[in-house]
Structure 1
């Protein structure tokens, strides 16, 4: 197996060898997915390469202040023309998670896979996978330093956003000394850390607050108090006017209850399908748990989509969590 440094060198060669690229991430992109996509775009622009950035799902509105975020195409609203021979997948643990963007890949497309999820199976022709990285943005920080390009506030803000969101504002256990060193360096390039933290982690829209109230009103705990969960229905989303991005962070509320080992947010996406988001205090590997249901993620944060009605899925998942405990 190649060392991390060797993987970075292979990725560098991949970016230098070709002239046009498709950059994609996972469906319903979060902060790290968006920032990593934009970071790759920024690097390619500095290298004089052609590129297009596409995802399945809208990016969170609060991230539209980042460099060229308005150029990131939502596949559900617009389908770019052409088949792409050189594809860069960022923050995508599972190849299937690229969603409908797969339609843009040429049959013989060469794929560069850049990710930090431990469940990543190293798909693609070239890959840089570092599970100990706090965010894919951390890997992009290292990759960009392989090139002779001058850093500025635009790229610094993008990388900082990925770190900020995937470490929960530098509060999660993945906040390593390296992460803090990188953050310090990014601040020196003009990033407004407090402003980003306020807009990305603290501010709430009215629909977001309303759907949070709806979710908390469904709070349930297991008999031993080690598992807590909430749920949101399509009716809740419609009544509050909330978007998918407004559910970000809700899963932390049940997890933050004293004594709780695993917090779960169930979102009914249809009468026959439910998305489950997991957060762990550390004793339970929720990535392994999510994999049981076809999902994935990290030891302390993971998710999956399960076919079935809400009550059925909740019962099934809670049973699996109790077994894992």
Structure 2
């Protein structure tokens, strides 16, 4: 049995040994985080366990088609007067990504950390980290098989959603033969791929269009046109009638420009807190850059939150990207 198999067996055993769980993913959850958290919930149900699924902040409404979505709690709006001895964190690149949910841990809590980010700092009591996996959902599939739980449409839908979103609709370079094999197997349980893609990747809100219109007006190219950046500030959200989640995916408009190596968005959804998202092609590992600022992610997709004035944050990030590219900002 190799190391990964041992970790998968350990994770399945963790779920069987305890009776009540706190299940969480990272702040500002995406499709993999949401699908994996709800997938864990379904596995626990099948094992006869009880659980609470919670995050710091809202989960995007576009994932409301997922089973048990209605059970997801927003800690900031639904405080919980309970502490938990068994915790499962999914898709959290490091401990800080759990946010204030950590206040719900009992003093002697044991934590199972399931993740695929290279920047994960192994913060769990038990760590199932596979950086070769395209998504946390890919790892969860193996845990479900090891736990011996029966697959059905609900569980398949959660795992498929995680795979679909973290591979960009099976278009990114992390789309491996293994990912496609799992996805094909999940379709046999009744998952409708066209419907999932429409909800997760195609359908956008009018507020997203409004914020996109404003964001593109800020588009600038630097570093010999190899870096494209856009900026969104609180006034933009207000005038567009948009929320933080409506700004999701804006960074791809930057990265997809011909000749651009790194796309960046600077999103100030609240004064003084700048969410930086980066997407890269081939030459730069943006996870290394994000880690310099307390963030993390993958080589081609990473992010961080930096406090300060927008102009100062831009200057710091552009300098770090320029160092990685070997090209100065104004060259």
Same fold (TM over 0.5): yes
Counterpart Cα distance in 1 of 2:164 and 2:246: 17
Correspondence list, 1:181-200, <5 A: 181-200=181-200
Alpha-carbon contact 2:225-2:259 (below 8 Å) kept:
yes
Correspondence list, 1:60-79, <5 A: 60-79=60-79
Which residue does 1:11 correspond to in 2?
11
Residue 54 of structure 1 deviates from its aligned partner by: 0.5
SS at match of 1:96: helix
Counterpart Cα distance in 2 of 1:272 and 1:124: 31
Stretches (4+) displaced over 3 A: none
Q: Which runs of 5+ in 1 are unaligned?
A: none
SS at match of 1:276: strand
Alpha-carbon contact 2:56-2:100 (below 8 Å) kept:
yes
Alpha-carbon contact 2:288-2:299 (below 8 Å) kept:
yes
Counterpart Cα distance in 2 of 1:241 and 1:195: 27
Which residue does 2:139 correspond to in 1?
139
Alpha-carbon contact 1:271-1:310 (below 8 Å) kept:
no
TM-score (norm 1): 0.98
Which residue does 1:174 correspond to in 2?
174
SS at match of 1:253: helix
CA RMSD of aligned residues (A): 1.2
For residues 273-295 of structure 1, the C-alpha deviation after alignment (integer angstroms, 9 at most, x for no partner) is 21100000021000000001110
Q: Which runs of 5+ in 2 are unaligned?
A: 326-331
Which residue does 1:297 correspond to in 2?
297
Residue 244 of structure 1 deviates from its aligned partner by: 1.7
**Pairing 1:153–2:131 present:** no
Which residue does 2:90 correspond to in 1?
90
Residue 269 of structure 1 deviates from its aligned partner by: 3.2
Which residue does 2:204 correspond to in 1?
204
Which residue does 2:307 correspond to in 1?
307
Counterpart Cα distance in 2 of 1:248 and 1:169: 16
Counterpart Cα distance in 2 of 1:191 and 1:52: 25
Alpha-carbon contact 2:237-2:269 (below 8 Å) kept:
no
Residue 148 of structure 1 deviates from its aligned partner by: 2.2
Counterpart Cα distance in 1 of 2:223 and 2:155: 48
Alpha-carbon contact 2:26-2:33 (below 8 Å) kept:
yes
Alpha-carbon contact 1:233-1:268 (below 8 Å) kept:
yes
SS at match of 2:147: coil
Residue 272 of structure 1 deviates from its aligned partner by: 2.2
Which residue does 2:54 correspond to in 1?
54
For residues 250-305 of structure 1, the C-alpha deviation after alignment (integer angstroms, 9 at most, x for no partner) is 10001000110000000113332211000000210000000011100000000001
Residue 125 of structure 1 deviates from its aligned partner by: 1.1
Residue 223 of structure 1 deviates from its aligned partner by: 4.5
Counterpart Cα distance in 2 of 1:230 and 1:71: 35
Residue 122 of structure 1 deviates from its aligned partner by: 1.2
Residue 241 of structure 1 deviates from its aligned partner by: 1.6
- Residue-pair matches, total: 325
SS at match of 2:250: coil
Counterpart Cα distance in 2 of 1:14 and 1:150: 18
